[in-house]
Copies of this chain bind each other. A is one copy, B any other.
Amino acid sequence: MSDAFDNLRPSRRAFLRGAATAGVGAMAAGTARAETPDPLITEPQEWAQSFGDGVDATPYGMPIRFEDDVIRRNVEWLTADTISSINFTPIHALDGTITPQGAAFERHHSGAIELRKEDYRLMINGMVEKPLVFTYADLERFPRENHVYFCECAANTGMEWAGAQLNGAQFTHGMIHNMEYSGVPLRTLLEEAGYDTAGKWVYVEGADASSNGRSIPMEKALDDVLVAFKANGEALRKEHGYPVRLVVPGWEGNMWIKWIRRIEVMDAPVESREETSKYTDTLADGISRKWTWEMDAKSVVTSPSPQAPITHGKGPLVITGLAWSGRGAITRVDVSRDGGKTWETARLAKPGEKRALTRFYLDVDWDGEEMFLQSRAMDETGYVQPTKTQLREVRGLNSIYHNNCIQTWWVRPNGEAENVEVS
């Protein structure tokens, strides 16, 4: 619990208790709703007088119908079609750090394909002693690891370079998810094939029609890259690369090849389409940065936000959001309510874990006045998330990818929030 919250406790408690009516009270939205009895308390309810669903009703469960707005959404004008496109995780409505697979954003280059385990093959070729092909059953025989990692598309927040654009954390920052993966270290498979130490790169390629392919330095391939087949305990979903995807911790999502079919050990990078004309950062002078794989530290307030307005008026308010860094663990998140003039250190729900989402909270007593809400992440390397102005000074206005600037939500006295730019 943060010091900030501790300071607020007396007034908050006084407020909440004041809202209770005599005996049994009902309070909501900052005011006592009724001095008269609340029938939801005093009367027997329908759901307490009849049976609910049995244990055979949903062999595999889905969210309750009242939550049917907590879904992935795409932005129609963003891409020419929905096949090579992206949708967004509803981060404004989530809490904690794990992203359920069903709500985790998708980015496809030629659509999500259906590939049976029995038909799955993974080839390792190129500069190896002996090229190998693994079936799915083969992969299950190697020692496995489990890790929670975030996956962020390099284009996340990309639409915000020139100015505030999309009105919701889901759309500005929802190209991200965070899951627990089970899989085999890529290192193990490369050793199995006897990789040539003169091979400084691996080229990894998907089985879908786009053959989405990327070059990865051998140093990273031998470090923490996973050939994963489970996410959050169960099989990868179709749209997340069933049956096998690459997990490249901390690095841009485009490298996390889905339906991975081939890994070639090479002495030079391929310079594929996805690492030249795409996923590079064109600077002000027209020169493009490349090999910007590592996702810099970043954060966003998920609530309140445009899709998650304050509905309860002034008083106790939970400000919460997510922070992450491709370089390691988040060590601190600051929150500003005045557009960056003053900052308060947020409470991290848990100590930051390397290359995984960190949930932060700031428990405040809102005075009901407008706020310009911002969050600012710091990671274990000492890196501090930049303002939009700072980022533009270095990168100009031509970029799409790797926008990790500080986000601002303008929260009005009525609790509604809007995407704005203050720096």
User: Which of A's residues lie within 8 Å of B, judged by CB?
Assistant: 1, 5, 13, 16-17, 20, 23-29, 38, 40-41, 45, 47-64, 66-68, 70-74, 81-83, 85-87, 93-104, 106-108, 110-117, 119, 121, 123, 125, 129-135, 137-138, 140-146, 180-182, 191-194, 207-209, 211, 229-230, 232-235, 237-239, 242, 259, 311-312, 315-318, 320, 347, 349-350, 359, 361, 363
Contact = CB atoms under 8 A, between A and B. Distances in A.
Contact of A99 (B70, B113, B233, B318): B233
A62 to B, nearest CB: 7
A146 B97 contact: yes
B114 A47 contact: yes
Contacts of A194: 17
Contacts of A26: 121, 133, 135
B96 A182 contact: yes
A193 B143 CA distance: 52
Q: How many copies does the complex hold?
A: 2
A95 B144 contact: yes
A130 B20 contact: yes
B38 A133 contact: yes
B95 A41 contact: no
Contacts of A180: 96-98
A27 B134 contact: yes
Contacts of A130: 17, 20, 25
28 contacts: A17-B129, A24-B125, A24-B131, A26-B121, A28-B138, A45-B207, A47-B259, A48-B209, A51-B111, A52-B83, A52-B108, A53-B108, A54-B108, A55-B87, A56-B74, A58-B239, A60-B68, A60-B72, A63-B237, A94-B230, A94-B234, A96-B232, A97-B233, A103-B233, A141-B316, A143-B347, A143-B363, A144-B320
A102 B27 CA distance: 33
Given A66-B116, A116-B66, A142-B316, A51 B209 contact: yes
A312 B52 contact: no
B56 A207 contact: no
A23 B51 CA distance: 63
Nearest 10 pairs of A and B residues by beta carbon: A52-B111, A54-B82, A59-B71, A95-B182, A52-B113, A61-B102, A146-B349, A55-B87, A47-B113, A64-B238
A226 to B, nearest CB: 12
A272 B375 CA distance: 48
